[in-house]
Amino acid sequence: MGTVHAKSAHGDSVGEVGGGLFEFEEPLEMDDEPISKPTIKLNGVRARVDRVHVDGLNRTKDDIIRSTVDDLFHATDFEDVILRAHKVRRALDAMGCFRDIGVFIDVSSGPGATPEGLEVTFQVRELSRVVGGINTTVSENEGNLVLGVKMPNVLGRGERIAAEYSMGYRSSSNFSVAATKPFPQKPLVPVLTGTVYQQNHEYPWSGYRLLDRGALLDIAFKTSPATHHNVQWEGLVRDTSVLSKTTSFKVRESSGPQMKSILRHVVSVDHRDEAMFPTRGTWVQFTSEVAGLGGGVAHVRTELLAQANRRLARDLVLQAAAALGVLHDVFGTELADHFFLGGPTSLRGFRQRGVGPHCEGQATGGRLYWAAGLHLYAPLPFQGSRTGLASLFRSHLFANAGCLAMPENSGLESLESLKLVRVSVGAGVVVRLGRGARLELNYAVPLRAQPHDVHAPGIQFGVGANFL
Amino acid sequence: MPEFHLTDSIITQLNAQEPWPDNVKLFQPYEVEQILLPDNASCLAVQAFLKMCNLPFEVEMRWNAEFMSPSGRVPFIKCGAFVVSELEPIVQFAANKGVSLCGKLSTEEKAEMRAYMSLITNVLVNAELYISWVDSETFNAVTKVRNSSVYPWPLGWLQTRAKRNAVIKRLKALHWYEKTIDQVLADVEQCCNSLSQRLGDKDYFFGNSPTPLDALMFGHMRAILMSSGARAGPLIKRITSSLLRHLLRCINVTHMTLTTQEEYLVTQAFQITRRRLSPERTASERSTRMKRSRMSIRNASKDTIHSNSNKTFLVRHICLCKVHFRLV
Amino acid sequence: MASIELDIWRGEWGLASIDLECLKVLTYMKFIGVPVRVREANNPFFTPKGRLPVMKDGRKLLTNFEEVVDHLKSLHYSTDVHLNTKQAAEASAFTQYLREKLYPAYQYAWWVDEKNYCDLTRPTYAKALCIPFNFYYPSHYQNAAKEMIDALYGEHTDLREIEKTLYNEAEKCLKTLSDRLGESEYFFGNRPSSFDATVFAYLAPLVKAPFPNATLANHVKGIANLSRFVARINQKNFRHVTDEYNRLNAKKQSTGTQSDREAANFPNQTRNKILAALFAAIAMTGYAVANGMFQRWATWGWQRTMLVNKFRIAKNHYDKITKLKAAKAKDDSKPL
């Protein structure tokens, strides 16, 4: 990428300041100082933007770019120009159409140039029309070949199509095709996504296999920078089949194809400083769904997840997490709709889905649950948590408590049955995998359990996105 | 797989020790609005077999019986912890419990019985599958409606399509798919002739007590008599009078031995005759008697189906039935 | 009547044909003694269904056993006239019984069992077929057999479980068959019928073929009266085939070594080897060209030429320079 220097012939003060190169390689945080050598007070310098160039546009439509960069023309002083340029750069980046974006600011010249006028140039490179990839994944007892194709910026306004197909060794194939259309100029910045998918899941702990085929329509929008909403409609055909001959009859009874239509609203408020290893702030996610507008399953299901973090000492973080779920069946609710609890990502010290009602060793799930966790995170001993590889690791002590109940079957009142608490404690190591997932290796001991529960004291290993 | 061997043998040993429990349940699809001709035949056959054995059981109807069954086919029985599907394994299962209908038969007769049972499953079952799923008239008028009756739209359509493809795949593998409807009916006729030749004018196929073969025969004959659609007439036409007499004898034997269940089979037998003559009355009768499916989208087409061209010989056969029934 | 022609798969291991259907038809024809010209076809490409046997009588083309039986009946050739109606009914019932219980297991043993298919079925059929077809038909038939097994036993996901179920059923079926036969010579009366032909066609290949995985074959061989039944019919009807096979075998054993026998089994082995080597060489050369290996050789050759010519080139340069110098000197001197 070429760099543009201010011409030295214009020897005025603006030119001198602008003579430095403002090229943002990384999306800078707004908290950070935008310039590295704050020798001159920039907000004193009056400036206005005469002209904005965007170079390298090919497929992307002008109107969307124009409305994005429009903001720049409202700048009044030089600092404002820089901040707004940075904001525009981030907005362009968020459109997901460009590979790299360079920003150059120069004094304006030519006809119509004002004395304090500036010219802002964005140099962009568009992503290629089709991006594809092949990779293989190996899970518990199956190898998968995954083919992925992405078409960014299909219609020139940030729309994208992503398709993924994975073919398993044992004739199970999953695919998903998603089309996304952002509306960056609209209020609340909505993003519309439509997905068609087919997915196979196996749940050996409950003895059944699911084949989901369905469509998902999602509108995501923000009502404040930290508040994120999703309104979804999902229609799916769910084929439940038993895993083996020894599957219990209760699980067998719920097999067969079912159609389900779900209306869902998810709201999350995130005030944490970071998603994986936060040191302060709170996070709340509330999911409510109604199934039964068509289809053979009708129920109301709500779930609340919350997390609070507090830094105790320099690297010592205390985290409290809680989860709560209620399912109200109207008709046709089967095993696959139930809540399940237990396992290395939720109630540690128990087997996956090991808490709550079981039938011949197979978890049948429940209608009500609550769970809580208390963690004390510390960096790995003898290592700083700030730098290098060590920043990916944390050690933690934890205590989990929770309860899952099916009040109809146990013959107890709802509140009564929720008092049968399970408790476990333990310690372990946490590794973060990228931005979204983490891996835990724990030693956990269940302290209190109920007769039906399947506990798994000792070393437990878990991978997942959401942890209690 | 060695583990399977092991568990299988353990199961046989275990269930040999225990007598037949009282809470045995037979699972099958909804009789009124869902069940199809081939499934109905096998369900009736198993019911008849259990009644012939004097084994108590309870019929439970489920929309997803087919998916609950370990073999994917109906009916199946749940006996304690064991789930056994289809006639032959159930016969085997009962034999392990010490209940058998073919104890008196010589080995040669047993061989012959197995052969005739194969004849029925190979010819009649495939013909029933063909007529239900391949013959377009019956498929559109009966099979499609009944098979999708328990599912909400559009799942019913998807399910019917998937099942049709599976049946066609099976018939293709057995070289039945290439046949024409006339060839299929000719095969049925030949099969019925073979069976009635074997039967002669005796009451049962072997000796003077029923066998699993009688149960199977009975199941198919009655299912065919109960069937509906454009091909029901031609199918019924293939039933010979000696087979019909056998059918009534079987009804009678289960009736005679099972006084508590008397209502069950005999009303059914009358229902065959009555339903053909006055569909309106039986429709209401059936809906009060039978449990409705959970997600029932009621199909109204059932009754209209009967009113088609082959009425004349239905009536003829019904008279035949009645006469024989009086004789019996 | 000499116009009847029958195309079949060739025989092996003392069998008149390796194929179930061919053997059925052939045995039936032997039973009635109808004059027929048997040809060992080397491809089923021109048959109506892509399968053998094919019987030709004048313009009529018949492809399966039932059709052949019916056709011959219309010509007043039949083995089943001595059966009464009840026996005929029983025969048809037993035919269906074999079809339901034994046929899937038979097909499994021949085509679906991977070891048998690789070591026995494919080589045997490949030998019977001529050259382009032997790449196609064995796998085509295998797919058909696999589809059938899948359609009938698709509810089991594990192939070994299917195998177990199939062989169990087949074993039961064979036991039943043996019970039915007892010690009599034929299944119905003391004369052969079409059902005997069917049973023979099922059992003979299982007895004679050297299966690597011989579960099903061992079931048959373990039942004495069925083995005797096969031997008896073979002796009576296909004596010449067996004798020839035994004679050949004995000759080979006395005169030739293992390799000779193999050579007899695969007559064009040398030619095939040369063809294979040629093919491999061409493929490798093609690959090398595609990868630009020759290009590197070419550059290397060019470099050598350059080296050889270096002196010549250097000399030429030197000459040129001196010439230029001389010319310059001349130019310099001119204006002065």
Question: Tens of pLDDT along C35-85?
Answer: 888 888 877 887 777 787 888 888 888 888 888 888 888 888 888 888 888
Contact A253 B68 (CB under 8 A): yes
Strand order in the sheet with B25-28: B58-61, B25-28, B76-79, B82-85
Q: What is the pLDDT of residue A97?
A: 82
Q: Is the CB of A259 inside 8 Å of chain B's CB atoms? A: yes
- Residue B20: which CATH number? 3.40.30.10
Contact A296 B151 (CB under 8 A): yes
Q: From the list B4, B110, B173, which residue is nearest C152 (CB)?
A: B173
- B132 plus B207 within the same structural domain: yes
Q: Is the CB of B149 inside 8 Å of chain A's CB atoms? A: no
Contact B200 C86 (CB under 8 A): yes
Domain end, chosen from B44, B77, B96, is at B96
- Name the residue with higher pLDDT: B243 or A387: B243
Q: What is the pLDDT of residue B223?
A: 85
pLDDT mean by block of 10 residues, chain A; 468 residues: 34 36 40 51 77 86 84 84 87 82 84 82 88 76 80 86 83 86 85 93 87 94 92 93 85 90 95 87 95 89 94 89 93 89 89 88 90 91 66 89 85 78 92 83 91 87 83
Query: Domain C4-265, CATH 3.30.300.30 — does that match?
Result: no
User: A340: closest CA among A142, A198, A204, A458?
Assistant: A204
Domain end, chosen from B37, B61, B96, is at B96
User: A424: closest CA among A400, A402, A460?
Assistant: A400
DSSP state of A355: B
Identify whether B101 is part of a domain: no
Q: What is the pLDDT of residue B294?
A: 37
Per CB-CB distance under 8 Å, the chain B contacts of A256 are: 63-64, 66-68
- Predicted complex ipTM exceeds 0.85: no
For residues A240 and A269, is the Cβ–Cβ distance under 8 A? no
Domain range holding B120? 107-327
Q: What is the pLDDT of residue B275?
A: 42
- Name the residue with higher pLDDT: A435 or B303: A435
Amino acid at B129: L
Q: Tell me: pLDDT of B322 over 70.
A: no
Q: What is the pLDDT of residue B267?
A: 47
Rg (CA), chain B: 19
Beta-strand relationship, A117-126 and A437-448: unpaired
User: Among A149-158, A232-241, B319-328, C274-283, whose mean pLDDT is lowest?
Assistant: B319-328
Per CB-CB distance under 8 Å, the chain B contacts of A359 are: none
Per CB-CB distance under 8 Å, the chain B contacts of A332 are: 294-295
pLDDT band for B323, please (50, 70, 90 cuts). very low
Contact C100 B200 (CB under 8 A): no
Annotation: CATH topology of A183-464: Porin (2.40.160)
- The two tokens of residue C201 are 């066609």
Other residues' Cβ atoms within 10 Å of the Cβ of residue A415: 10
| B14/chain C closest Cα distance in angstroms | 21
Distance between CA atoms of residues B165 and A181, nearest Å: 37
pLDDT in tens, C188-234: 888 888 899 999 999 998 888 888 888 888 988 899 889 999 988 88
Q: Tell me: pLDDT of B270 over 50.
A: no
Domain end, chosen from B55, B75, B96, is at B96
Other residues' Cβ atoms within 10 Å of the Cβ of residue A244: 11
Per CB-CB distance under 8 Å, the chain B contacts of C101 are: 118
| C88/chain B closest Cα distance in angstroms | 8
- B7 plus B128 within the same structural domain: no
Contact B118 C177 (CB under 8 A): no
| B145/chain C closest Cα distance in angstroms | 25
pLDDT band for C160, please (50, 70, 90 cuts). confident
Neighbours of chain A (3+ CB pairs under 8 A): B
Q: Is the CB of A361 inside 8 Å of chain B's CB atoms? A: no
pLDDT in tens, B151-187: 988 899 999 999 999 999 999 988 899 999 999 999 9
Q: Tell me: pLDDT of C129 over 60.
A: yes
- The two tokens of residue C314 are 């250097």
Nearest residue of B to residue C102, measured between CA atoms: B118
Contact C182 B108 (CB under 8 A): yes
Q: Tell me: pLDDT of B299 over 70.
A: no
Model's pTM, two decimal places?
0.76
Tokens 């690789």 correspond to C118
Q: Provide mean pLDDT across the span C89-93.
A: 89
| A204/chain B closest Cα distance in angstroms | 17
Interacting residues of C222 by C-beta distance below 8 A, sequence separation 6+: none
- Name the residue with higher pLDDT: C273 or C24: C24
What CATH number is given for A13-126 in this structure? Answer: 3.10.20.310
| A462/chain B closest Cα distance in angstroms | 30
Q: What is the pLDDT of residue A52?
A: 87
Q: What is the pLDDT of residue B132?
A: 92
Contact A258 B66 (CB under 8 A): no
Contact A332 B295 (CB under 8 A): yes
Per-residue burial over A93-105, b = 16 or more CB atoms within 10 Å of its CB, e = otherwise: eebebbeebbbbb
- B53 plus B156 within the same structural domain: no
Contact B1 C161 (CB under 8 A): yes
Q: From the list B71, B108, B200, which residue is nearest C179 (CB)?
A: B108
Contact B294 A332 (CB under 8 A): yes
- Name the residue with higher pLDDT: B247 or B33: B33
Q: Is the CB of B258 inside 8 Å of chain A's CB atoms? A: no
Q: What is the pLDDT of residue B232?
A: 79
Q: Tell me: pLDDT of C112 over 80.
A: yes
Q: What is the pLDDT of residue A428?
A: 92
**If you count residue pairs, one on B and one on C, with CB atoms under 8 Å apart, how many are there?**
85
Number of domains comprising chain B: 2
Q: From the list C89, C152, C164, which residue is nearest B170 (CB)?
A: C152
| Domain spans, chain C | 4-265, 273-333
| Domain spans, chain A | 13-126, 183-464
Q: Is the CB of B7 inside 8 Å of chain C's CB atoms? A: no
Per CB-CB distance under 8 Å, the chain B contacts of A237 are: 155, 158
Identify whether B14 is part of a domain: yes
pLDDT band for C5, please (50, 70, 90 cuts). confident
Nearest residue of C to residue B168, measured between CA atoms: C151
pLDDT band for B298, please (50, 70, 90 cuts). very low
**If you count residue pairs, one on A and one on B, with CB atoms under 8 Å apart, how many are there?**
41
Q: Is the CB of B173 inside 8 Å of chain C's CB atoms? A: yes
Average pLDDT, chain C: 82
DSSP string, A203-253: ETTTTEEEEEEEEEEEEEEEEETTEEEEEEEEEEEEEEEESSTT--HHHHH
Per CB-CB distance under 8 Å, the chain B contacts of A241 are: 67
- The two tokens of residue C336 are 């002065």
pLDDT band for B319, please (50, 70, 90 cuts). very low
Contact B111 C158 (CB under 8 A): no
Q: What is the pLDDT of residue A369?
A: 93
- Name the residue with higher pLDDT: A87 or B268: A87
Q: Tell me: pLDDT of B256 over 70.
A: no
Per CB-CB distance under 8 Å, the chain B contacts of A246 are: 7
DSSP string, B211-271: -HHHHHHHHHHHHHHH--STTHHHHHHT--HHHHHHHHHHHHHHHHH-STTHHHHHHHHHH
For residues C141 and C124, is the Cβ–Cβ distance under 8 A? no
User: Among B126-130, B139-143, C66-70, C296-300, whose mean pLDDT is lowest?
Assistant: C296-300
Interacting residues of C324 by C-beta distance below 8 A, sequence separation 6+: none
Per CB-CB distance under 8 Å, the chain A contacts of B68 are: 252-253, 255-256
| B136/chain A closest Cα distance in angstroms | 25
Contact A259 B295 (CB under 8 A): no
Contact C151 B173 (CB under 8 A): yes
